[in-house]
């Protein structure tokens, strides 16, 4: 039923979709493409800007054809004269070679932000090494279009300054991953220290955005579980207390069990309020 | 909530365009197909793998004098949809509503590696739901309204609401000690939501802008907390009840909760001041927040302060300074461990503490507590219209209240020197390169995290034998500091791109990171990461783009790994 309703609505919208060109103005004669395009944007429709707003020499250009003064000396300041809320103190804005039009296009920009393509593509043009990480097997759903770079980063402000609202990077992660925020009674120190000790948000080969696979990641800070030093029986099956247990990994059985993936047992690696089972372990095992 | 929202969305999609006085848009039909022989988690972690038809739409329209709306929608499948509606009423009002739904496929761990036996000990697993497929639906709703009062355009208000939901099933595991280790795996319902409500105002006076906002965040998990019946506490070799004094609970205590997720409330207030002048900017902000775990009645608060400024020095040079400090203060918590009395064996009638003199109770002082100071000084030099250098230094001090990163040391100090270069040759190469060197004293580490010395040359029959060394004693004797964080880091990054003809673009990138930690007491840790990529993007038309690329990554880590060999 829901599918049918969706398809009906979409069909109606397709049938009624019409295109209208914007108001032409005197520039239309020579610059039809640009004028037609900008007529559909927020600058023209909401802010009521015309060509002369950003090209102050347009009238003389129409009269004489002279192009002098058409482009202002500092186009960035032209933008800031209206966009006063963008106090641009970030890495992107304080040099002449990097102006608003690196990412935005006032003539043909797409969407309400008038970007040159979707946000992720715009960022990827310069941050190619980060985009490459997004192609690794484990990543946030950025290539799939479910998130964009600006879900976490603020391109108009210093990326670190934006963290001031969140105190540290963990608070940024907890915005979506609140499950791991706690505060918990039983803590795992690197979790509350910095999520990036174990995770790389841009993409990894290992699952769960871990910077390395288990158990190798864990073993850089912890020693192996002591059971991993034991050899199992050679037999494939063993009778224990009258019950038959499988031993598919033969001699390497205990090594496989305790040296493969630490979080199979220590599942609450992000913290827990419930004590683990052993008394000498003081409940700190993060097992439940 | 979902059904109501979708209904309102449908009404909006039909009704709003009907009132438009002028408008337009595009619509397209999508055909999706997905073939997968095995688990979708690797090939399509975030994809709905059902094939079918989808639709896509972008529309705009004008109404009233200065009214504008933009509507976009992408419906790939019932579990994969995105919608966005934005309204402007001139410069005075703006409403932005978006809805994004997608799937997140999760792994089902078969746990087959757990099985091992060494008679008379066994280690095994039970997967109670072996056929379950795990994953959840992620639903993200965001709405924001901005409003400027007529006649007082410098005074603006905003209010926003967002709700992120995850609903589905994941695998949860729990482990029983004793009689061999027994890992149980079972379904765990996930039905969690994070809800943000924020409101604020800004007031602009000339080039001074003041802003204040308040945020309330609530998190809850409605999925039932799973329970487990832990195995009987018995000696792993003798299979007698002589082991229960070292286990806080077993089957006799009934079902025990596992993975209980607490409800969390967050409250945050922020004030911010921005001031700009012709050649520079200044910003200062203060943030105060409190986060409470309502289930355990624990909370922490933090206070952060920021000051940042940029100033043009002459025609070609910019100076930027920034300092930020914050403090986190988390509650202490007294952990009272349940200590059963031994019912058999040599210590029958005594608790573990009574016969080993070990008190497991402790006051948990959080490792979260700290004071952090972070500062940056940076110079940018514009040597040409399309070329610039940047040089900077960052200082970061993280002083923890209790957690030690080296014997007797709780403070990590990071000094980072960096430079980057950017140069654009019109209609040709766009080049960027950066180099950074960091020196970190006392990086984060697990002090005495591994390598127990040879403590007992006399084999004993059991850890319960009189005089035998206990596991906590082995732990306390560990002597090697271990870490995966560097005390020195060198990073190089370069990217280059250029058009190849009218419709084709070439993009190259490489990065190299050399991490080294030589502050560890018994070893040196070292990691090198090399990443290189090449992409070609061919855009024959506005609606058609072809992208192909290759990424190479190599990572090498040299670390100290401790493998204790003893039978506890």
Averaged over A42-46, what is the pLDDT?
76
Q: For residue B165, what are the contacts with CB-CB under 8 A and spacing of at least 6?
A: B137, B138, B139, B140, B191, B192, B193
Whether residues B403 and B460 share a domain: the answer is: yes
Of A40, A183, A249, the CB nearest to B366: A183
Is the pLDDT higher at A277 or at A99?
A277
Size of interface A-B (CB pairs under 8 A): 441
Q: Do B257 and A7 touch (CB under 8 A)?
A: no
Whether residue B25 is contained in a domain is answered as: no
Number of domains in chain B: 2
Whether residues B471 and B357 share a domain: the answer is: no
Whether residue B530 is contained in a domain is answered as: yes
Buried b or exposed e, range A220-231, using 16+ CB within 10 angstroms: bbbbbbbbbbbe
What pLDDT, in 10s, does the model give residues B230-252?
988 887 777 788 788 889 999 99
What pLDDT, in 10s, does the model give residues A226-244?
788 888 887 778 877 777 8
Tell me whether B536 touches chain A (CB under 8 Å): no
Whether residues B352 and B488 share a domain: the answer is: no
Is the pLDDT higher at A106 or at B97?
B97
Instruction: Look at residue A215 and tell me whether its pLDDT is greater than 90.
Output: yes
Q: Do B326 and A277 touch (CB under 8 A)?
A: no
Whether residue B480 is contained in a domain is answered as: yes
pLDDT classification of B54: cutoffs 50, 70, 90: confident
Residue B390 DSSP class: E
Q: Do B24 and A20 touch (CB under 8 A)?
A: yes
pLDDT for the residue A86 = 63
What pLDDT, in 10s, does the model give residues B289-318?
999 999 999 999 999 998 988 888 888 888
Cβ atoms of B243 and A279 within 8 Å: the answer is no
What pLDDT, in 10s, does the model give residues B269-283?
999 998 888 788 888
Q: Do B119 and A246 touch (CB under 8 A)?
A: no
What pLDDT, in 10s, does the model give residues A170-204?
888 999 999 999 899 999 999 999 999 999 999 99
Residues of A with Cβ-Cβ distance to B446 under 8 angstroms: 189, 221-222
Instruction: Look at residue B404 and tell me whether its pLDDT is greater than 90.
Output: yes
pLDDT for the residue A97 = 53
Residues of B with Cβ-Cβ distance to A203 under 8 angstroms: none
pLDDT for the residue A231 = 83
pLDDT for the residue B102 = 94
Instruction: Look at residue B357 and tell me whether its pLDDT is greater than 50.
Output: yes
Averaged over B351-376, what is the pLDDT?
93
What pLDDT, in 10s, does the model give residues B462-474?
666 666 778 788 8
Whether residues B425 and B343 share a domain: the answer is: no
Whether residue B384 is contained in a domain is answered as: yes
What residue spans define the domains of chain A?
31-117
pLDDT classification of B568: cutoffs 50, 70, 90: very low
Whether residues B402 and B351 share a domain: the answer is: no
Of A2, A245, A248, the CB nearest to B122: A245
Burial of A243 (0-12, 13-18, 19+ CB in 10 A): exposed
Whether residues B497 and B353 share a domain: the answer is: no
pLDDT for the residue A249 = 86
What pLDDT, in 10s, does the model give residues A109-164?
667 788 888 888 888 888 888 888 898 889 999 988 899 988 888 887 654 444 44
Q: Do A2 and B308 touch (CB under 8 A)?
A: no
Averaged over B524-533, what is the pLDDT?
96
Q: Do B432 and A126 touch (CB under 8 A)?
A: yes
**What does pLDDT average to over chain B?**
88
Sign of CA dihedral B539, B540, B542, B545: negative
Instruction: Look at residue B47 and tell me whether its pLDDT is greater than 90.
Output: no
Whether residue B123 is contained in a domain is answered as: no
Cβ atoms of B93 and B149 within 8 Å: the answer is no
What pLDDT, in 10s, does the model give residues B23-42?
777 777 777 666 666 666 77
Instruction: Look at residue B367 and tell me whether its pLDDT is greater than 60.
Output: yes
What pLDDT, in 10s, does the model give residues B119-131?
777 888 999 999 9
Cβ atoms of B125 and A246 within 8 Å: the answer is no
Whether residues B470 and B520 share a domain: the answer is: yes
Instruction: Look at residue A87 and tell me whether its pLDDT is greater than 60.
Output: no
Whether residue B113 is contained in a domain is answered as: no
Whether residues B413 and B376 share a domain: the answer is: yes
Omega before B534 within 30 of 0, i.e. cis: no
Sign of CA dihedral A176, A178, A179, A184: positive
Whether residues B361 and B404 share a domain: the answer is: no
Averaged over A201-221, what is the pLDDT?
94
Write down the pTM of the prediction. Answer: 0.90
Whether residue B105 is contained in a domain is answered as: no
Of B47, B175, B568, the CB nearest to A144: B47
Q: Do A238 and B119 touch (CB under 8 A)?
A: yes
CA of A268 to nearest chain B CA: how many angstroms apart? 7
CA of A113 to nearest chain B CA: how many angstroms apart? 11
Q: Do B245 and A279 touch (CB under 8 A)?
A: yes
Of A217, A265, A282, the CB nearest to B360: A282
Tell me whether B439 touches chain A (CB under 8 Å): no
Whether residues B568 and B513 share a domain: the answer is: yes
Whether residues B423 and B340 share a domain: the answer is: no
Instruction: Look at residue B542 and tell me whether its pLDDT is greater than 70.
Output: no
- Write out the residue range of the structural domain in which residue B356 sits: 336-365
Whether residue B423 is contained in a domain is answered as: yes
Percent of chain B with pLDDT over 90: 57
Averaged over B390-394, what is the pLDDT?
95
pLDDT for the residue B288 = 93
Q: φ and ψ at B473, to 5 degrees? A: -70, -40
Whether residues B361 and B373 share a domain: the answer is: no
């Amino acid at each position: 039923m829901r599918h049918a309703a969706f398809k009906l609505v979409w069909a109606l919208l397709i049938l009624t979709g019409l295109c209208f060109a914007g108001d032409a103005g005197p520039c239309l004669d020579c610059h039809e493409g640009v004028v037609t395009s900008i007529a559909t944007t927020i600058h023209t429709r909401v802010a009521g800007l015309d060509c002369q707003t950003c090209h102050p020499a347009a009238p003389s250009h129409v009269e004489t054809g002279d192009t002098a003064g058409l482009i202002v000396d500092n186009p960035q300041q032209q933008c800031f004269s209206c966009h006063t809320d963008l106090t641009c103190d970030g890495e992107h804005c304080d040099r002449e070679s990097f102006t608003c039009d690196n990412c935005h296009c006032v003539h043909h920009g797409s969407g309400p932000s008038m970007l040159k393509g979707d946000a992720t593509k715009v960022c990827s043009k310069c941050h190619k090494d980060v985009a490459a990480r997004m192609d690794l097997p484990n990543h946030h759903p950025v290539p799939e279009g479910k998130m964009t770079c600006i879900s976490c980063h603020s391109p108009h402000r210093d990326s670190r300054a934006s963290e001031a609202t969140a105190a540290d990077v963990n608070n940024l992660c907890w915005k979506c991953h609140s499950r791991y925020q706690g505060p918990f009674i039983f803590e795992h120190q690197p979790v509350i220290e910095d999520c990036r000790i174990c995770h790389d948000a841009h993409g990894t080969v290992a699952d769960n955005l871990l910077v390395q696979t288990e158990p190798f990641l864990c073993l850089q800070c912890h020693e192996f579980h002591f059971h991993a030093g034991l050899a199992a029986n050679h037999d494939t099956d063993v009778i224990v207390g009258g019950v038959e247990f499988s031993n598919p990994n033969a001699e390497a059985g205990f090594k496989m069990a305790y040296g493969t993936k630490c979080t199979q047992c220590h599942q609450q690696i992000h913290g827990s309020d419930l004590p683990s089972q052993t008394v000498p372990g003081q409940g700190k095992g993060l097992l439940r | 909530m979902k059904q109501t929202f979708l209904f309102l969305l449908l009404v909006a999609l039909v009704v709003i365009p009907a009132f438009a006085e002028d408008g337009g848009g595009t619509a397209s039909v999508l055909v999706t197909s997905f073939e997968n022989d095995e688990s979708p988690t690797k090939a399509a972690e975030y994809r709905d793998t059902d094939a079918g038809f989808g639709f896509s739409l972008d529309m705009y329209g004008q109404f009233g004098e200065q009214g504008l709306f933009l509507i976009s929608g992408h419906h790939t499948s019932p579990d994969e949809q995105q919608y966005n509606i934005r309204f402007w009423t001139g410069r005075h009002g703006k409403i932005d509503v978006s809805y994004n739904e997608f799937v997140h496929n999760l792994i089902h761990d078969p746990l087959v590696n757990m099985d091992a036996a060494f008679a008379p000990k066994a280690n095994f697993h039970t997967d109670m739901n072996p056929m379950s497929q795990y994953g959840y639906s992620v639903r993200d709703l965001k709405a924001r309204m901005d409003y400027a009062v007529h006649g007082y355009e410098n005074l603006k208000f905003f209010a926003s609401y967002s709700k992120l939901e995850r609903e589905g099933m994941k695998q949860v595991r729990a482990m029983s000690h004793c009689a061999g280790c027994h890992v149980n795996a079972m379904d765990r319902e996930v039905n969690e939501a994070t809800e943000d409500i924020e409101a604020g105002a800004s007031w602009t006076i000339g080039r001074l802008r003041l802003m204040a906002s308040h945020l309330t965040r609530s998190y809850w998990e409605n999925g039932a907390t799973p329970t487990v019946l832990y195995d009987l506490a018995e000696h792993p070799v003798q299979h007698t009840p002589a082991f229960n004094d070292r286990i806080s609970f077993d089957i006799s205590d009934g079902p025990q909760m596992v993975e209980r997720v607490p409800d969390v409330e967050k409250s945050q207030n922020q004030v911010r001041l921005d001031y700009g002048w012709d050649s520079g900017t200044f910003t200062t902000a203060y943030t105060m927040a409190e986060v409470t775990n309502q289930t355990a009645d624990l909370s922490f608060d933090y206070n952060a302060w920021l000051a940042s400024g940029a100033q043009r020095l002459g025609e070609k040079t910019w100076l930027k300074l920034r300092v930020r400090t914050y403090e986190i203060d988390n509650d202490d918590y007294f952990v009272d461990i349940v200590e059963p009395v031994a019912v058999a064996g040599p210590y029958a009638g005594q608790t573990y503490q009574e016969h080993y003199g070990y008190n497991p109770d402790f006051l948990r002082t959080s490792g979260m507590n700290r004071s952090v100071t972070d500062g940056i000084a940076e110079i940018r030099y514009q040597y040409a219209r399309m070329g610039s250098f940047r040089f900077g230094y960052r200082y970061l001090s993280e002083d923890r209240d209790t957690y030690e990163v080296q014997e007797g040391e709780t403070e990590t100090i990071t000094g980072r020197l960096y430079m980057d270069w950017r140069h654009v040759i019109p209609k040709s190469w766009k080049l960027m390169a950066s180099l950074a060197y960091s020196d970190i004293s006392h990086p984060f580490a697990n002090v005495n995290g591994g390598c127990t010395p040879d403590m007992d040359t006399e084999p004993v029959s059991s850890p319960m034998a009189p005089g035998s060394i206990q596991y906590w004693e082995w732990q306390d004797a560990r002597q090697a500091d271990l870490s995966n964080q560097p005390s020195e880091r060198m990073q190089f990054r370069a990217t280059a791109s250029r058009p190849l003809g009218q419709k084709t673009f070439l993009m190259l990138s490489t990065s190299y990171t050399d991490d080294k930690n030589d502050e560890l007491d018994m070893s040196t840790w070292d990691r090198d990461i090399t990443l290189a990529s090449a992409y070609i993007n061919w855009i024959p038309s506005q609606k058609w783009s072809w992208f192909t690329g290759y990424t190479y990554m190599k990572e090498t880590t040299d670390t100290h790994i401790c493998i204790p060999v003893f039978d506890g």
